[in-house]
Chain A
């Protein structure tokens, strides 16, 4: 799977948008971009994923550049409960059997009151 690069930490003011970048310059054409987050002492939580189009759900928006070499996860109105480590992962979607989620170091987002 392609490697990803994320900033180790970011701060965001409560109520403002949090924009978390991810570089994945070696992503292949059939690999998806997935985002998970892990709140302290909990298991990872799926947020959103995409292939090449921008995606939005009730939690966040995902913006993928046209060349697919980078993406940004946007939390439109960050709350204190969004404080967590956010992981950007690129993976093949249509793959059975073997594990296809490799967690890097992620970005530790701290939402400040």
Chain B
């Protein structure tokens, strides 16, 4: 059974700091997704990582995938308040039309 674990589940940080959210999964997969959810809102796709070593960047966020370590990271550079949200990673269960989701990391960035 594929399990996806995010770490940490809650993160409070100051603006301007850097931090990393980790997403570990238990079974071989080379497709991993990051989503953002603002309070009371829907989920927005951030990154789609489809191969070992994939790295994608958008603004202050950068995501990477190491399929051998079964690990993805979401790195936040010089955090700003607008990045406060819950971030989810999800792993593709080998084309069974099903994603397995992490529990989410609630990120609060204080001015």
Do the two chains bind?
no
Chain B contact residues, CB within 8 Å of chain A: none
